[in-house]
C-alpha cells in the first residue's frame, strides 16, 4: 500500500508544486487556444467559445499577478479556479442556460431587453473577411455580442491594472493585520475609483452574460454580485479605516466604486 502511494503521480493533489503549476497552466492555455480556434469556425454560437477563452485568460492573469508581486502568498489556489462553490455553480449555471436555450429554445436568444440590444441586421459589415474568419468577426461586430465583449474587456483590464498597480498591497483575501510595508494605494487607477479589482470582476461577470445572451443568469449574477460586493466592501473598508484612519476616510469621500448602488 505504501509503495503504491509513493508511485502515484503527485498531480492534482492541491499542492503548490511545479508539476501542478505546469499542468494547470497547460490546461488553461489549451482551453484558451482551443476555444479561440473554435470561435473562428463556429458559425452558430462563437460567443460561447469567446467566453471560455476569456475565462481561461482571467484565471491565468490571477496567478501571474500573485506570482509577480506576492510570491510568498502564492498557492495553487491563486489561479482561483476552484474559488468557491458559489463561483463554480454560477459558471455552471451560465453554461447550462446557454446550451439549453441554444438547443431547445433558440428563439430565446433574441427575446428580452438584454438580448434585444442592437437586434438588427443592416449591412454585412464583414463582407471583406474570408469565410473562415467570418463567424468570429460577425459575432464580435454584432451589437449585442460586442456590447458584452466590450464590458468583459473593460472589466478584465481594470482588474489586471489594479493588481499590477497595487503590487504587494494586493491580496485575494482581506487581511486582518496591517503589515509593516502595507500602505494605502491612491494613485493610478486607484485615484479614479475605490476597489478597481472588484469593479473589474463585477463588470466582467455581467458582461459575460450579456455576451452569452443569458437573460436568466444575467439577473442571477446581478443579484449575487451586488449582495457579495456590498458585504465584502463594507467589511473590507472597516478594516482599512482601522488601518489608515482619517487618510482612508478622506480617500473614500473623493472616490467611487462605480458599482451600482455601492457609492
What confidence score (pLDDT) does residue 111 get?
39
Contact 46, 136 (CB under 8 A): yes
Residue listed under C-alpha cell 491580496: 171
Q: For residue 240, which of 255, 260, 223 has the smallest C-alpha distance?
A: 255
Mean pLDDT to the nearest integer, 142-152: 85
CA separation for the pair 18, 38 (Å, rounded): 30
Quick check: is 262 in a domain?
A: no
pTM across the whole model = 0.86
What does the pLDDT look like over 57-112, one tens digit per residue?
Answer: 999 999 999 999 999 989 999 999 988 999 999 999 999 999 999 888 876 665 34
pLDDT greater than 80 at residue 114: no
Q: How confident is the model at residue 131 (pLDDT cuts 50, 70, 90)?
A: very low
Quick check: is 99 in a domain?
A: yes
DSSP 118: T
From the CB of residue 183, how many other CB atoms can be counted at a distance below 10 Å?
13
Query: What's the CATH code of the domain at 143?
Result: 1.20.120.1630
Quick check: is 78 in a domain?
A: yes
Quick check: is 263 in a domain?
A: no
Number of domains in the chain: 1
What does the pLDDT look like over 222-249, one tens digit per residue?
Answer: 999 999 999 999 999 999 999 999 999 9
Quick check: is 261 in a domain?
A: no
What does the pLDDT look like over 40-52, one tens digit per residue?
Answer: 887 777 889 999 9
CA separation for the pair 58, 204 (Å, rounded): 10
Quick check: is 195 in a domain?
A: yes
CA separation for the pair 200, 100 (Å, rounded): 28
Q: What is the mean pLDDT of the chain?
A: 86
pLDDT > 70: what percent of the chain? Answer: 82
What confidence score (pLDDT) does residue 151 get?
97
Quick check: is 62 in a domain?
A: yes
Could you list the residue range(s) of the whole structural domain that residue 6 is in? 2-254
Handedness of CA 143, 144, 149, 152 (dihedral sign): positive
Q: For residue 175, which of 165, 164, 166 has the smallest C-alpha distance?
A: 166
What confidence score (pLDDT) does residue 9 get?
63
Quick check: is 98 in a domain?
A: yes
Amino acid at each position: 500500500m505504501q509503495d503504491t502511494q509513493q508511485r502515484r503521480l503527485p498531480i492534482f493533489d492541491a499542492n503548490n508544486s511545479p508539476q501542478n503549476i505546469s499542468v494547470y497552466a497547460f490546461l488553461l492555455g489549451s482551453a484558451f487556444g482551443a476555444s479561440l480556434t473554435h470561435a473562428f469556425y463556429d458559425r452558430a454560437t462563437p460567443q460561447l467559445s469567446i467566453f471560455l477563452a476569456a475565462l481561461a485568460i482571467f484565471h491565468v492573469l490571477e496567478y501571474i499577478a500573485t506570482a509577480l508581486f506576492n510570491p510568498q502568498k502564492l498557492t495553487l489556489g491563486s489561479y482561483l479556479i476552484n474559488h468557491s462553490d458559489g463561483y463554480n455553480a454560477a459558471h455552471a449555471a451560465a453554461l447550462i442556460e446557454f446550451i439549453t436555450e441554444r438547443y431547445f429554445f433558440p428563439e430565446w436568444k433574441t427575446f428580452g431587453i438584454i438580448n434585444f440590444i442592437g437586434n438588427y441586421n443592416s449591412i454585412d459589415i464583414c463582407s471583406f473577411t474570408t469565410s473562415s474568419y467570418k463567424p468570429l468577426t460577425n459575432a464580435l461586430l454584432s451589437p449585442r455580442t460586442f456590447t458584452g465583449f466590450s464590458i468583459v474587456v473593460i472589466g478584465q483590464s481594470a482588474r489586471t491594472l489594479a493588481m499590477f498597480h497595487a503590487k504587494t498591497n494586493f491580496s485575494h483575501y482581506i487581511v486582518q493585520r496591517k503589515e509593516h510595508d502595507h500602505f494605502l494605494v491612491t494613485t493610478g487607477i486607484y485615484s479614479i475609483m475605490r476597489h478597481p479589482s472588484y469593479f473589474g470582476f463585477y463588470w466582467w461577470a455581467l458582461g459575460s452574460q450579456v455576451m452569452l445572451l443569458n437573460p436568466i443568469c444575467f439577473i442571477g449574477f446581478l443579484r449575487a454580485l451586488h449582495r457579495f460586493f456590498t458585504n465584502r466592501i463594507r467589511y473590507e473598508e472597516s478594516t482599512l479605516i482601522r488601518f489608515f484612519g482619517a487618510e482612508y476616510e478622506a480617500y473614500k469621500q473623493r472616490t467611487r466604486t462605480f458599482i451600482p448602488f455601492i457609492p
